[in-house]
Structures are given as structure tokens and as C-alpha cells.
Amino acid sequence: MNYWLIKSEPNEYSWDDLVKLGRDHWDGVRNYAARMHMKNMKVGDLAFFYHSVNERDIVGIAEIVKEHYPDPTTDDDRWVVVDVVPKEKLKRPVNLDQVKADPRLSNMALVRIGRLSVQPVEKEEFDIIMAMANE
């Protein structure tokens, strides 16, 4: 199993929106590195759901339930989507400042290349953030 982080502006598409839908495709990715990560996602992988811009919080965990396929929101065949379902809302959101303050997470993609909308998360990073959410 692999771990990921997917970002969304909560005023555009929030964790609650995903929960309400129950299942959705993750679309709108227009960055080649993020696309590469989506192409590497497998069914059963888990992704932190991150509210970007003003909140900057990891708020939940989504599960990948369908691997990449052409993005139905564009005619440009370079772009892909994956299907996700909400798996778990975190007991306590984990803010970007908390992540940056923890030296164990200094190499995390969220810290190093923060603007990337889809990024890998190492198992150890996933476990640390889960422990922070459960404190």
C-alpha cells in the first residue's frame, strides 16, 4: 500500500463535499508531477485530504477505489483522474504549521514542495501525522 496527500481549496471542494457524495473522481490536476503521482496510485492506497489556502489542514483520509483514467472534465487526453471515497475524518485536523514544526517531517513533500496538489507520503510520515491527529 502507498500513501498520498491530495489538496483542495475547501471553498471549491471540501472534505464534507466528498463525504456527501460518497465517491468522486479527483479531477482538475494540471501539473505533470501530480499527474505522475496519480498514475502511480493503486486501489486500496490511502490519501490524506488536505484543505489548502486559508485552512492548511489535513482533515481526513480518502481511499483510492479506481486507478487512473482519462479526466472527464477536459478533452485534453494528457490528464487523468482517480476515484476516491472518504474513509475517515481525522479526530483532530493537523495544521501545516504543526507538520513544519516536527523535525521528523522535514523531508515530507508537503514541507519541501508545498504547492504540489498530489504528493507522495511515506509510511512513517503517515503514522506520525495520524499520531498527531489522535493526540
Q: Give the start-to-end residue ranges of the domains of the chain.
A: 3-133
Predicted confidence at residue 48, as pLDDT, reads: 98
- Cα distances (Å, whole numbers) of residue 15 to 10, 40, 86, 107: 7, 23, 8, 26
What is the tens place of the pLDDT at every residue in 103-128?
Answer: 999 999 999 998 899 999 999 999 99
Question: What is the pLDDT, as a whole number, of residue 114?
Answer: 83
Amino acid 80: pLDDT: 98
CATH fold of the domain at 3-133: ph1033 like fold (3.10.590)
Residues of the chain with pLDDT under 50: none
Which pTM value belongs to this model?
0.96
Alpha helices in 5-122 (DSSP H): 15-21, 32-40, 96-101, 109-112
